[in-house]
A and B are shown apart, each in its own frame.
Chain A
Amino acid sequence: MNCGHTEKNLVAYLDGKLHPAERRQLEAHLATCAACRERAEGFRSAWNVLDELPVLPPSPAFDARVRARVEQEPRRAWFWAWIVPSPRMAFAATALLIASIWLSSFQPGRIPTAHPSAGAANQNAEAEFGMIKDLPVLENYDVLTSFDALSDLPVQQAAQPQPLNQM
């Protein structure tokens, strides 16, 4: 070991974090090199003197200022914060929700018609829409994002089943 190695290892040595083999090597070098020994002693003394630097207490108003700034932050719905890991996802989910509500306003039952015989059916359709609009399912992001119900629907197969020998 030479003086160049001291530069790499001296701080770790003084911290007591050097591997035993490296520590023994460094100690052997310090025993023979007065300059490195003086440096090591100087580091230790400087370290001790640094303890005299006083700690500055934060001003008494510090916490209140932080709290005031934090309280100005928009409170996130924690359900969203938990399920949506990024702002992009949150934006996409919000857009999807708004689009769903907007599209639902174009239900055929809501289109006004002058045909008198359609009046009763129209009223029923409006009542149904009112119920749908109030359903919590539209506000439930979990349902919107993992709409397994669609994949569970029976898929209409072609009219003719495939013969086994073609499979």
Chain B
Amino acid sequence: MARSDVQLMLDVKSGDDSSFELLLRKYRTPLVNFLYRMVRDAAAAEDLAQEVFLRVYRARGQYLPTAKFTTWMFRIATNLALNALRDGRYRQQEVSIDRSAVDHSVDGESDQPALEIADRQPSIELELIRRDRAEQIRRAVEALPEKQRAAVLLHKYQEMDYDEIAGVLGCSESALKSLLFRAYETLRVELAPLVEAAQQTQAGQPGK
């Protein structure tokens, strides 16, 4: 039976570094993505995610399982991201999705340069549309105010409960629901053209 995150962290506290490795593998991608959407810079997101893991490791001796592990870890991540944004340490760089993908392919393991992805698709045009839509979504999410953005990222992509997100952001559940409402209201307006385009595409498909 798989150990819970809290049990893994308690094992880390007892000196079992292999449990820390399991937590690292489980949460590196969610953390890097959350931080990337928060600070809008892929390299900065990786730096901050490393810092989160380091802080989790450093705090192992004092770890008490009073809250869910993810609440605790994402609270560290959110505070780091908000502080970094306020310090202006990370400029709001316009890193396109293609650019970040190329950066990673250069970095090591991936043998497939990002541009080759299009070659594997049935249509280059469809791939360009997909990228354009992803870019617009990214811009809409990243344009949200910091707290609203964090709330949506935790709600949508981490699928956290309201009490957990409220714990991460240090607000009441009622305030969180208000934050989420305002965020989704903005996204509803900003993403409306994409919704319409998708509906038109779907409506046109049966006739093809």
Contact = CB atoms under 8 A, between A and B. Distances in A.
Contact of B50 (A8, A60, A69, A73): A69
B162 interface: yes
Given A8-B177, A47-B156, A81-B13, A58 B29 contact: yes
Interface stretch (A38-46, A96-104, A111-119, A144-152): A38-46
12 contacts: A39-B185, A46-B195, A49-B137, A53-B137, A55-B29, A56-B29, A58-B28, A59-B108, A60-B110, A63-B25, A65-B50, A66-B24
Nearest to B53: A66
**Size category of the binding interface on chain B:** 35 or more
Contacts of B25: 63
Contacts of B188: 39, 42-43, 45-46
Contact of A86 (B62, B157, B162): B62
Interface string B8-20: 0000011101001
B38 to A, nearest CB: 12
A136 B155 CA distance: 54
Interface in A17-58: 17, 39, 42-43, 45-47, 49-50, 52-58
A28 B130 CA distance: 38
A52 B133 contact: yes
A39 B100 CA distance: 34
A85 interface: yes
A53 B134 CA distance: 5
A54 B104 CA distance: 14
B162 A12 contact: yes
A interface SS class: helix
A56 B177 contact: no
B197 to A, nearest CB: 10
A61 interface: yes
A152 to B, nearest CB: 32
B126 interface: no
A61 B181 contact: no
B108 A54 contact: no
B33 interface: yes
Contacts of A76: 61
B57 A11 contact: no
Interface of A: 7-12, 17, 39, 42-43, 45-47, 49-50, 52-63, 65-66, 69-70, 73, 76, 78, 81-82, 85-86
B39 interface: no
Contacts of B77: none
Given A59-B107, A63-B24, A78-B15, A50 B46 contact: no
Contacts of B152: 50
A78 B46 CA distance: 30
A59 to B, nearest CB: 5
B97 interface: yes
B187 interface: yes
A45 B194 CA distance: 9
Contacts of B192: 42, 45
B109 A60 contact: yes
A12 B100 CA distance: 34
A62 B109 CA distance: 12
A62 B49 contact: yes
Contacts of A86: 62
Contact of A56 (B32, B109, B133, B155): B32
